[in-house]
Chains A and B, each alone.
Chain A
Amino acid sequence: MKYGMTGKILRVDLSNQTHTVEEPDEKIYRTYFGGSCLACYYLLKERPAGINPLDPENLLIFASSPLVGSGIPGANRFSVASFSPLTGYYGEAEAGGWWSPELKRAGYDAILVEGKAEKPVYLWINDEEVQICDATHIWGKVTGDTQAIIRNETGESRARVASIGPGGENMVRYACVVNNLRHTNGRSGMGAVMGSKNLKAIAVRGKQKISFKNNEALKKIIKWYTDNFMDHPIERILHDGGTIGWDVTELDEAGILPTRNFRSGSFEDADKICGETFHTEYFVEADSCHGCPIRCKRVARSSGEHQVDPTYGGPEYETAAAFGSLCGISDLEAICKAHELCNRYTLDTISAGSSIAFAMECFENNLLSIQDTDGLELNFGNHEAMIRLIHKIAKREGIGDLLAEGTWRAAQKIGQGSEKFAMQVKGQEMAMHEPRGKGSLALAYALSSTGANHTEGPHDYLFQEGALGVSDLTELGLLEPTPAVYLGPEKARQFAYMQKTWNVFNTLGLCIFTAGPGKLLKMNQVAEAIQAATGWDTNLWEIMKLAERTITIKRAVSVRQGVSRKDDRLPDRFFEPLEGGLLKGKALDRNEFETALDMYYDMMGWNRKTGVPRPGKLVELGLGWINPILNQH
């Protein structure tokens, strides 16, 4: 008997309106586990090189994991993965909530979606039974209406609905997928892939029991976590203030708050968009994901000018900074509204905010005229223009059609040197963290197979001398802290280790806020939890190898789509001095950066010149079958 997993993977062919159920060998689960690693296995096995992400032949995967539903705090997530319409390379995004455990209770570990429906449809999965339902009447509706209609039609008020709104339907290249209206698979444009397939939603409901091998061992870990999380300073901060309380003002004082499209690290109105102001003015309640006591999600409401609807939750830190300091905007109510609109329309708030900041900088440098912007005065700080732009992007109206393409493609069309204002890597926009103040983040942004990604590994300040995370590194064999603002070989080593922890979480369906270095649940305890869930005689060694396999197989997917070392870069702006804040004048050093890349490739067994994983490394990770796919022997 298999424990932890249902043992079943659902394959849906939208072109032929059929579905089949597959039961992979347990070795497949133990090798690729779930989430993003399992998704990459299918992308490489089943699809050729050169896939156009918006073509029907693209494969879209929703993958849970054997740990999900176990009750381990944070083990409630799933990956949506595919080829990304934003980058053309590997794309993935993770979300929490209740959708992932519900999928397992409905009988499936993952869903593979192929082809394209002739007309809009949604999937309804109810205790293993699968229906492909007409969604013509829902097409064009926002997520709130979509969820309400589907719940009404299925008669299941507790159906968990992951859906797209007009942003996904119109194939905005950074459209996201939203479940339960508040939980978002944000990055890489996975919502656009759903739209390209005429797939409006996947609704799931399940009442089956998931079998775990050692429930007593799981309960023991859960109880220990519940008893101790309030005494852990970081978990307590997340519990008390969410990510928005972790905090804009601190980043501002430290000089690493992305401001006006990353020109500065300090925003003069940081206190107006910070966690304290949010909790005073707009906070309604804290919200949670399945089985998590942290309750870091925030819900916002306003009956002021912008009428913010609490149904859609509230802004995370990323959203507050993307629509706030990055755009020079100090109106927190408008930022809360921007969050709500993005969840309604299904837009990634990071890429949407970054695209607007890009347009503002183009406008202020006369690369976009008032005619180009449909009459909008796109100066930094104009929150009304920002709100108007979100509507336009989702509907691809006027200037919105250009910005729906993302900053890299928009810059190609605008020309005139606007590329230098496009803050992106591999086509994906930077998140709201400043790499000139965090050495490992510079590597994370440059090296992620998905393009600029801030969740590639834990950030630097937790691991400098005397900081809280340093003692957590010893179980991995890292005994020396490194300064945050530093990019020498030791930082490359620290990043290579840290990257494994957060990457494996995307395979395990585990949240980066409950576990790993700097959080309460340690990596050895994660291994214990997997052992208890699956019954496998596993340990930290195997989990770290799974982590390395995850990073490497993602790289292989992107390499086959054309990624090489030349794409592991950062925007020129980061090699130029910050214009303001505590780190004013600080710039990354190109030689130091390139040397750190060399070190990283060596550590990972990747070719220094090409950035391609070496044949022996692939064999060592049990991925030898990828060598012929990459034309290696």
Chain B
Amino acid sequence: MSVTFISIGSLKRFFNNIADGKDRLVVEDQEGRSVKVVCQEIGLPVNLISLYIVNGKAESKDYILQHGDEIKLIAAMGGG
């Protein structure tokens, strides 16, 4: 029973600290909890996350994780 977080772009540097430099972080026993809460607990800066993409679909921060979910996190995107 696990979910997988996949790092992308500017959030990769935060993954470096918690996933030993890997692009994927497998987290066990998180089913039934919201994606935002889990991100917070594993040490990701949730105020920088503007999009939670779960299995290729944009979901809200309150999305309840299910076994096998693949989650991509997108940082707040600016301009300039």
Q: What CA separation (Å) do A461 and B10 show in the bound complex?
A: 15
Q: Are A518 and B76 within 8 A (Cβ)?
A: yes
A-contacting residues, B23-62, CB 8 Å: 36, 45-51, 53, 56, 58, 61
Q: Are A467 and B76 within 8 A (Cβ)?
A: yes
Taking CB atoms, residues of chain B closer than 8 Å to A246 are 9-10, 75, 77-78
Q: Are A250 and B80 within 8 A (Cβ)?
A: no
Q: Are A274 and B9 within 8 A (Cβ)?
A: yes
Is A40 engaged at the interface, CB distance under 8 Å to the other chain?
Answer: no
Q: Are A464 and B80 within 8 A (Cβ)?
A: no
Taking CB atoms, residues of chain A closer than 8 Å to B75 are 233, 237, 246-247, 250
Taking CB atoms, residues of chain A closer than 8 Å to B47 are 233, 466-468
Interface flags for A235-260 (1: CB within 8 Å of B; 0: not) read: 01100110101111111011010000
Q: Interface segment, A31-39, A452-460, A539-547? A: A452-460
Taking CB atoms, residues of chain A closer than 8 Å to B12 are 276
Closest to B45 in A: A233
Task: Name the distance in Å between A331's Cβ and chain B's nearest Cβ.
Answer: 20
Taking CB atoms, residues of chain B closer than 8 Å to A317 are 80
Q: Are B10 and A254 within 8 A (Cβ)?
A: no
Q: What CA separation (Å) do A247 and B79 show in the bound complex?
A: 10
Task: Evaluate whether A253 and B8 lie within 8 angstroms (CB atoms) in the complex, with A461-B76, A461-B77, A462-B76 already known.
Answer: yes
Q: Are B79 and A459 within 8 A (Cβ)?
A: yes
Is A390 engaged at the interface, CB distance under 8 Å to the other chain?
Answer: no
Task: Evaluate whether A462 and B9 lie within 8 angstroms (CB atoms) in the complex, with A250-B77, A251-B77 already known.
Answer: no
Is A63 engaged at the interface, CB distance under 8 Å to the other chain?
Answer: no
Most buried by A among B46, B49, B51: B51
Q: Are A454 and B10 within 8 A (Cβ)?
A: no
Is A484 engaged at the interface, CB distance under 8 Å to the other chain?
Answer: yes
Taking CB atoms, residues of chain B closer than 8 Å to A467 are 47-50, 76
Q: What CA separation (Å) do A234 and B13 show in the bound complex?
A: 12
Is A368 engaged at the interface, CB distance under 8 Å to the other chain?
Answer: no
Task: Evaluate whether A458 and B79 lie within 8 angstroms (CB atoms) in the complex, with A233-B48, A466-B47, A582-B58 already known.
Answer: yes
Task: Evaluate whether A461 and B50 lie within 8 angstroms (CB atoms) in the complex, with A254-B77, A513-B80 already known.
Answer: yes
Is B64 engaged at the interface, CB distance under 8 Å to the other chain?
Answer: no
Taking CB atoms, residues of chain A closer than 8 Å to B79 are 431, 433, 441, 454-455, 458-459
Closest to A511 in B: B80
Q: Are B36 and A250 within 8 A (Cβ)?
A: no
Task: Name the distance in Å between A432's Cβ and chain B's nearest Cβ.
Answer: 9
Is B19 engaged at the interface, CB distance under 8 Å to the other chain?
Answer: no
Q: Are B9 and A250 within 8 A (Cβ)?
A: yes
Q: Are B10 and A245 within 8 A (Cβ)?
A: yes
Is A529 engaged at the interface, CB distance under 8 Å to the other chain?
Answer: no
Is A469 engaged at the interface, CB distance under 8 Å to the other chain?
Answer: yes
Q: Are B9 and A234 within 8 A (Cβ)?
A: no
Q: Are A250 and B58 within 8 A (Cβ)?
A: no
Taking CB atoms, residues of chain A closer than 8 Å to B8 are 247, 249-250, 253
Band of interface residues on B: 20 to 34
Q: What CA separation (Å) do A275 and B8 show in the bound complex?
A: 11
Task: Evaluate whether A458 and B78 lie within 8 angstroms (CB atoms) in the complex, with A233-B45, A466-B47, A582-B53 already known.
Answer: yes
B-contacting residues, A453-503, CB 8 Å: 454-455, 458-459, 461-462, 464-469, 484
Q: What CA separation (Å) do A466 and B61 show in the bound complex?
A: 9
Q: Are A462 and B50 within 8 A (Cβ)?
A: yes
Task: Name the distance in Å between B5's Cβ and chain A's nearest Cβ.
Answer: 13
Taking CB atoms, residues of chain B closer than 8 Å to A431 are 79
Taking CB atoms, residues of chain B closer than 8 Å to A236 are 13
Interface flags for B61-80 (1: CB within 8 Å of A; 0: not) read: 10000000000101111111
Q: What CA separation (Å) do A461 and B56 show in the bound complex?
A: 19
Q: What CA separation (Å) do A159 and B32 show in the bound complex?
A: 64
Q: Are B36 and A466 within 8 A (Cβ)?
A: yes
Taking CB atoms, residues of chain B closer than 8 Å to A469 are 76
Task: Name the distance in Å between B75's Cβ and chain A's nearest Cβ.
Answer: 6
Q: Are B78 and A253 within 8 A (Cβ)?
A: no
Q: What CA separation (Å) do A250 and B8 show in the bound complex?
A: 6
* Contact with A254, one of B56, B74, B78 (Cβ below 8 angstroms): B74
Taking CB atoms, residues of chain B closer than 8 Å to A461 are 50-51, 76-78
Q: Are A234 and B80 within 8 A (Cβ)?
A: no
Task: Name the distance in Å between B63's Cβ and chain A's nearest Cβ.
Answer: 13
Task: Name the distance in Å between A56's Cβ and chain B's nearest Cβ.
Answer: 34
Taking CB atoms, residues of chain B closer than 8 Å to A386 are none
Is A403 engaged at the interface, CB distance under 8 Å to the other chain?
Answer: no
Q: Are B78 and A459 within 8 A (Cβ)?
A: yes
Q: What CA separation (Å) do A274 and B10 show in the bound complex?
A: 10
* Contact with A253, one of B48, B61, B74, B76 (Cβ below 8 angstroms): B74
Is A356 engaged at the interface, CB distance under 8 Å to the other chain?
Answer: no
Taking CB atoms, residues of chain A closer than 8 Å to B58 are 582
Taking CB atoms, residues of chain B closer than 8 Å to A240 are 13
Task: Name the distance in Å between A561's Cβ and chain B's nearest Cβ.
Answer: 26
Q: What CA separation (Å) do A512 and B61 show in the bound complex?
A: 28
Query: What 6 A-B pairs come out closest when comparing CB atoms?
Result: A247-B9, A250-B9, A461-B50, A459-B79, A468-B47, A237-B10
- Chain A residues engaging chain B, CB cutoff 8 angstroms: 233-234, 236-237, 240-241, 243, 245-251, 253-254, 256, 274-276, 317-318, 431, 433, 441, 454-455, 458-459, 461-462, 464-469, 484, 512-513, 518, 582
9 CB < 8 A contacts A-B? A241-B10, A248-B9, A250-B10, A433-B79, A458-B79, A459-B77, A466-B46, A582-B53, A582-B56
Besides A245-B10, A275-B9, 8 new A-B residue pairs in contact (Cβ under 8 A), listed by A number: A236-B13, A237-B10, A246-B10, A250-B11, A253-B74, A276-B12, A459-B78, A462-B77
